[in-house]
């Protein structure tokens, strides 16, 4: 008599989401989760990389699912970065706290904080300001120099807006809502 293979019923998407969330929590090894739910490791990794099953991270804003690593990753806004960097620079200058203390208090790696500080010093972390167009002064007489100054101001503003747009598109791409930005 031939042996019949016992088939396990298909799991619902809700149960798959629960399995993925449990796997991403890091509380149990993925191998143990596979044994618990009687699934193969291939199926588990396929579910982890399936965007429709990615956890929503309720109540945790600023978290993005990274399908390459299969983990949730924190995304910092420009304002948050600016506040943390300014606090780190001010407190280290006053001698009240070290940069390492500030990074620990916000849950940021020290190396990332130093990258943000370098970007801040280079002027890349400053918030985007609305452009203020200066009216030409008729008494000045030299219209060519005024035109050059206006072109420089407009160019800097456009450059900042392009940087902001690139940051936004990169964030959207990481969340998987759009295709990668053109470079």
| Alpha-carbon Rg for the chain in angstroms | 25
> What per-residue confidence (pLDDT) applies to 177?
67
Q: Domain for residue 44, yes or no?
A: yes
Mean pLDDT in residue range 106-117: 89
Structural domain of 167: 128-183
Reported as a pLDDT band with limits 50, 70 and 90, residue 6 is: low
Same domain, 138 and 183: yes
Mean pLDDT in residue range 13-17: 87
Using alpha carbons, list the distances in angstroms from residue 116 to 54, 64, 94, 101: 29, 19, 20, 16
Q: What is the rounded average pLDDT for all residues in the chain? A: 76
Q: Domain for residue 156, yes or no?
A: yes
Report d(CA 126, CA 82) in Å as an integer: 7
> Which has more confidence, 84 or 8?
84
Reported as a pLDDT band with limits 50, 70 and 90, residue 149 is: confident
Are the CB atoms for 125 and 86 separated by under 8 Å? no
Q: pTM score, two decimals?
A: 0.41
Same domain, 112 and 65: no
Same domain, 95 and 142: no
Provide the token pair at 28.
Answer: 């149990």
Same domain, 52 and 63: yes
Q: Domain for residue 147, yes or no?
A: yes
Mean pLDDT in residue range 35-46: 88
Mean pLDDT in residue range 43-69: 67
Least confident window among 86-95, 134-143, 145-154, 172-181: 134-143
Give how many domains the chain has, as a whole number: 3
168 C-beta neighbours (distance < 10 Å), count:
12
Q: Which residues contact 153 (CB under 8 A, 6 or more apart)?
A: 131, 132, 133, 134
Same domain, 123 and 133: no
Report d(CA 87, CA 41) in Å as an integer: 45
3-state secondary structure of 165: helix
Domain boundary among 73, 90, 109: 73
Instruction: End-to-end CA distance of the chain: give it in Å, rounded.
Output: 64
């Amino acid at each position: 008599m031939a042996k019949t293979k016992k088939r396990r019923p298909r799991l619902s998407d809700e149960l798959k989401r629960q399995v993925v969330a449990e796997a991403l929590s890091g509380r149990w090894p993925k191998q143990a989760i596979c044994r618990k739910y009687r699934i193969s490791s291939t199926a588990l990794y396929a579910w982890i990389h399936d965007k429709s099953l990615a956890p929503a991270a309720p109540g945790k804003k600023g978290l993005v699912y990274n399908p390459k690593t299969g983990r949730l990753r924190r995304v910092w806004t420009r304002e948050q970065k600016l506040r943390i960097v300014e606090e780190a620079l001010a407190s280290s200058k006053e001698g009240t706290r070290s940069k390492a203390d500030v990074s620990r208090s916000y849950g940021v790696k020290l190396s990332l904080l130093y990258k943000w500080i370098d970007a801040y010093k280079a002027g890349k972390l400053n918030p985007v300001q609305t452009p203020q167009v200066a009216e030409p002064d008729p008494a000045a007489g030299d219209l060519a120099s005024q035109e050059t100054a206006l072109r420089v101001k407009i160019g800097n503003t456009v450059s900042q807006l392009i940087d902001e747009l690139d940051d936004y598109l990169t964030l959207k791409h990481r969340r998987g809502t759009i295709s990668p930005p053109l470079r």
